[in-house]
Amino acid sequence: MKFSEMPYARPDLDAVKQQFADLLARFKAAATYAEAHAVFLEEEKLNKHVDTLAQLASVRNTIDTRDKFYDEEMNFWNEATPQLQECQNAWSRAMLDSPFRADFTAEYGDLMFVNAEIADKAFSPDILDEMAQENKLTTEYGKLIASAQIPFEGGVYTLSQLSPFKNDPDDARRLAAWKAEGAWYKEHGAEFDGLYDQLVHLRDTMGKKLGYEGYTTLGYYRMGRLCYGPEEVKQFRENVRRDVVPVVARLRKEIGKKLGVDTLMLYDYDLIFPQGDPAPKGGKEAIFAAAKRMYHDMSRETGEFIDFMLATEAFDVDARKNKWGGGYCTSFMAYHQPFILANFNGTAGDVDVVTHEAGHAFADYTTANNRYVVELGVGGMETAETHSMSMEFFAWPYMAQFFGEDAGRYEFMHLMDALSFLPYGTIVDDFQRQVYENPDWTPAERKAAWRQLEAEFRPHITFDGIPYLEEGTRWQYQMHIYETPFYYIDYCLAQTAALQFLLASRKDYDDAFHRYVRFLSQGGEKVFTELLQEAGLRSPFQEGALQTVAQESEALLNELERALSQETK
């Protein structure tokens, strides 16, 4: 069904809750597995219907945050979602206690029940009020980001529209764009600090109400972490510090020399090439035409997928005033349809939308056409991000269709950015660890912690001379810190897997792609570490696991640079 034709009407919350209650009673009273399974499928259908309505309201609200109708609908869902989660949690407990658990396990695997156990640890009716307040605050944050109107060079830009100026080849223009953005954040600094302080204390309260030391344990349960916890992530952070940071620092200093700077400033960091970074050769229509050719050539399944996405209006990529400032892929489960929102701005990031976000969508499309159940989905978020980040790299053989003669420069930039991301993403994660261990920190203490982490993980760059950012406020630019705490490490874990897929694809593309599709198609049936092992990839939690990845990525960057040098002769 086309996105524009999907019907929306606010559900009767009391009626929906009663439907869940009736299903729960019937499930508990089932005398046979056949009866219990039939009710299970009814609950799945209701769950998908309700979730689809919630997603429709959310998506249409992010498309235009000024839309009064969907603004009111989000107010409704912010209050309703915790109550519905209470219904779902009661269902999960009934599944765990079911005398037919073995039968469900035989049909769907045991992971569904492991997920239910985790969900049970992440919820209590005692935190319903806090959950509703949390939803309200994250919505306020999203509106604040979407409201940005930044004067620059005679124009007025959203945050997304300003981005191309931040990696302009002209040093002065680049710095001016960063200063303009920083001025807007500084103007609203008290709001950013206030929203985050409220969120931190709310989450800390939720954790303590559930009997935890604070929010961290609850945060990991809410993320559905199954095969690792804070200790494994601590080891990962140490792997990044020891084996990735020195490599990135060395490579970035070399790029700085080519840019003609002795001290690498933050406003230099988004620029890789002195003449300017590669950009797509055409606009939206050209990008989607190239994407369609690419996915049809890649495989039959990906060809069918992109045709489906285009036919169902599954992309909204135009940057507009008061549109939500980020990008995402979601799904309308009742229709088994993914949807992608982004803000095209003429940079290489536009191409990443039809690779990265489309990687998410392909996983959702694939599992929806298999034996999809809500309780399994596409796997944990680290698994889902592996789907998307790996697709970025499997698209490399087709980059000439997007960038023409600049395809090689894009590949170098893409890999350099991917490797450089690991230290930054680790900063985001460790910052949140410290914040939730110290919920009563002042805004100044949080900013000092951020500055210290930057010095540890990105010692090769400086924020000096960039008003507001030099105070230690870069974290306020990161939506995930406000909206989905402890999510960001999933990107880092996924990036290590994606880099391994890239390196494997350079040796045998078909074999690597086959392993990737198998990894993707299992749809939450196995945990992340098991999927990695089956795909022949190393777990990022092993000590020294990133050493080979970093070294081989550096070698590939050197190879790509040599090829670029030959092209210019």
Query: For residue range 449-491, what is the model confidence (pLDDT) as tens digits?
Result: 999 999 999 999 998 888 899 999 999 999 999 999 999 999 9
pLDDT of residue 176: 94
pLDDT of residue 568: 66
pLDDT tens digit string along 364-385?
Answer: 998 865 555 676 778 889 999 9
Q: Which band of pLDDT confidence, cut at 50, 70 and 90, is reported for residue 569?
A: low
pLDDT of residue 118: 92
d(CA 431, CA 216) in angstroms, rounded, equals: 12
| Residue in this structure with the two tokens 């159940």, named with its chain if needed | 373
DSSP character at residue 265: B
Cβ burial of 258 (10 Å; 0-12, 13-18, 19+) is exposed
pLDDT tens digit string along 339-350?
Answer: 999 999 999 999
Plot region of 170 (φ>0 → left; ψ -120 to 50 → alpha; else → beta)? beta
d(CA 16, CA 22) in angstroms, rounded, equals: 10
pLDDT of residue 419: 97
- Closest among 390, 458, 386 to 426, alpha carbons compared: 458
Give yes or no for residue 203 having a pLDDT over 80: yes
**Phi, psi torsion values for 212, nearest 5 degrees:** -95, 170
Task: Quickly list H helices, 223-325.
Answer: 230-239, 245-259, 284-298, 300-311
Question: What's the pTM?
Answer: 0.92
Q: For Cα atoms 121, 540, 221, give the angle at the middle one, nearest 5 degrees.
A: 10
d(CA 99, CA 104) in angstroms, rounded, equals: 10
pLDDT tens digit string along 67-118?
Answer: 999 999 999 999 999 999 999 999 999 999 999 999 999 998 888 899 899 9
DSSP character at residue 325: S
**Mean pLDDT taken over the chain:** 94
pLDDT of residue 372: 57
DSSP character at residue 344: E
Token reading at 371: 């034996």
- What DSSP assignment string belongs to 510-546? HHHHHHHHHHHHTTTSS-HHHHHHHTT---TTSTTHH
pLDDT of residue 404: 96
pLDDT tens digit string along 403-437?
Answer: 999 999 999 999 999 999 999 999 999 999 999 99
**Phi, psi torsion values for 275, nearest 5 degrees:** -80, 0
Give yes or no for residue 287 having a pLDDT over 70: yes
- What DSSP assignment string belongs to 217-246? HHHHHHTT--S--HHHHHHHHHHIIIIIHH
pLDDT tens digit string along 148-182?
Answer: 999 999 999 999 899 999 989 999 999 999 999 99
Cβ burial of 562 (10 Å; 0-12, 13-18, 19+) is exposed
Q: For Cα atoms 257, 349, 524, give the angle at the middle one, nearest 5 degrees.
A: 115
pLDDT of residue 321: 87
d(CA 265, CA 273) in angstroms, rounded, equals: 15
Q: Span 199-228, mean pLDDT?
A: 96
Q: Taking a C-beta distance cutoff of 8 angstroms, is the pair 267, 175 a contact?
A: yes
Three-class SS of residue 64?
coil
- Closest among 207, 190, 197 to 482, alpha carbons compared: 197
The answer to whether the Cα torsion of 402, 403, 404, 407 is positive or negative is: negative
The helix (run of H) or strand (run of E) holding residue 508 is none
pLDDT of residue 193: 97
Q: Taking a C-beta distance cutoff of 8 angstroms, is the pair 384, 378 a contact?
A: yes
d(CA 502, CA 406) in angstroms, rounded, equals: 19
Q: Span 6-30, mean pLDDT?
A: 98
Three-class SS of residue 30?
coil
Percent of the chain at pLDDT > 70 equals 98
Q: Taking a C-beta distance cutoff of 8 angstroms, is the pair 546, 540 a contact?
A: yes
The helix (run of H) or strand (run of E) holding residue 414 is helix 407-437
**Which of the residue ranges 187-196, 270-279, 393-402 would you say has the lowest mean pLDDT?**
270-279
d(CA 24, CA 95) in angstroms, rounded, equals: 10
pLDDT of residue 7: 97
Three-class SS of residue 54?
helix
Token reading at 343: 């803000």
Q: Which band of pLDDT confidence, cut at 50, 70 and 90, is reported for residue 242?
A: very high
Q: Taking a C-beta distance cutoff of 8 angstroms, is the pair 10, 73 a contact?
A: yes
